Amino acid sequence: MKKNAKKISTEAKMSRRNFIGGAAASAFVFTIMKPSLVVGSEANSKVEVGIIGLGWRGSWLGDLIVNHGGYKIVAVADYFDEVVQAAGDKFGVPKEKRFSGLSGYKKLIESGVDAVFHETPPYCFPDHVKTSVDASRHVYLAKPLGCDVPGCLSIEESAKKAKENKKVFLVDFQTRTDPFYIEGIKRVQNGDIGKPVLLNSIYTDEGFEDPPKTKSIESRLRFLRWVNDNDLGGGYLVNAGIHAVDVALWIAGGRPVSATGSSRIAVEKPNGDSHRVFSLTYEFANGLVLNHWGEHINNRMGFTSQCFAYCQDGFLETQYTGQVKMLGNKTGYGGGNVGDLYRKGAERNIETFHKSIMNGDFSNPTVEPSVNSTLTTILGREAAVRNTKLTLEEVLKENKKLKVDFTGLKE
């Protein structure tokens, strides 16, 4: 069992570490759908898609999109032309539908796609998503929703507009698709083991390479280096720790009102500004407490993403690469081993996205919890870096924007 668990953990870790691989500042995935598909008059037609961001995660997701059978990739975009060409060859995309540079995403959207898969560094999301929604495209979006409060609120506004325009908007968190997570958390929320009194979320993994910076940020746009930079990727808590925090908020049923914490960069000669060690205490309006800690040091600890809910009459355990179970004084839930959630969660989200488009379901239930999780991790990052207590109200009012320097990048 330990050997298998280690294998699963390693696979999950490698998946995250290679997230963008050769990828992209401005890469795009788009899903296109013919107008006739929207009304369901051509049941056998495929949803045509485009992809923005074709590093490891984007290209890998493209394989799942193709394997689904209900899509056709017809356009690709990435900041790096060599990445675009490789993806275009892989997915059989016409030369004229391959776009690179900072403005490539606009050309992809203008090319006539109906939906977009966004797999770029998160700093791109607010502008890219707004452009997609303004052009009346369906949106499939990675997490986090942005690197700062203005970016996250921009996504929230775009999602609202998408719903009004009867477009599907899905955020790709894997845990919320898993049947063991869904059943276990439902039982807690139904009161099977009493009221939750304490939540504990943990996220650990090794850090990404963080080489010296060059004259432009181009060198930071590959190989997940951008996670080291708060302005490009949101930093380790917002980009990675969000997975565990999101499960805690799912259990809590909302977002906290305040956070207190400490954090450190904790590595020698860092080049990015993201802290890598976090210890946080979140408080909710109803008195519930969430303790979150995480570390991203190359110390062989490996990948862990888990959350425990301690309730008045029992507890719930959830693990991204392990078991979900609930033990109580009067009842319990055996749950089971999650297994390959990284892939299965993405496959389920791709299926849900397709089904929602075909059925005209624009309820878009993943938006609100994803906004809450992104804002909560931004709150935690700010409280920890400042080594103080901050309320979410204060952080929202502050509305601090992280500026990205595009000097020297090609349009």
pLDDT digit string, tens, across residues 330-354:
999 999 999 899 999 999 999 999 9
pLDDT digits (tens, 9 = 90+) for 36-89: 344 333 445 899 999 999 998 999 999 999 999 999 999 999 999 999 999 999
Cα–Cα distance between 185 and 326 in angstroms, integer?
Answer: 9
Domains 23-171 and 175-354+365-398 share a fold: no
pLDDT single digits (tens) 141-167:
999 999 999 999 999 999 999 999 999
- Predicted structure pTM score: 0.90
Q: Does domain 175-354+365-398 have CATH number 3.30.2270.10?
A: no
Overall average pLDDT of the 172-194 stretch: 98
CA-nearest of 127, 373, 381, 398 to 263 is 381
**Residues whose CB is less than 8 angstroms from the CB of residue 217 and which lie 6 or more positions away in sequence, other chains included:** 25, 229, 232, 404, 405, 406, 409
Which tokens is 182 given? 């869904």
- Give dist(CA 118, CA 18) in Å, integer: 16
The architecture (CATH level 2) of 23-171 comes to 3-Layer(aba) Sandwich (3.40)
Task: Tell me the average pLDDT of the chain.
Answer: 91
For the ranges 3-7, 54-58, 61-65, 168-172, which has the lowest average pLDDT? 3-7
List strand residue ranges (DSSP E) for 273-408, in order.
277-283, 289-295, 304-311, 314-319, 323-328, 332-337, 389-391
Percentage of residues in the chain with pLDDT exceeding 70? Answer: 89
- Domain map (residue ranges) of the chain: 23-171, 175-354+365-398
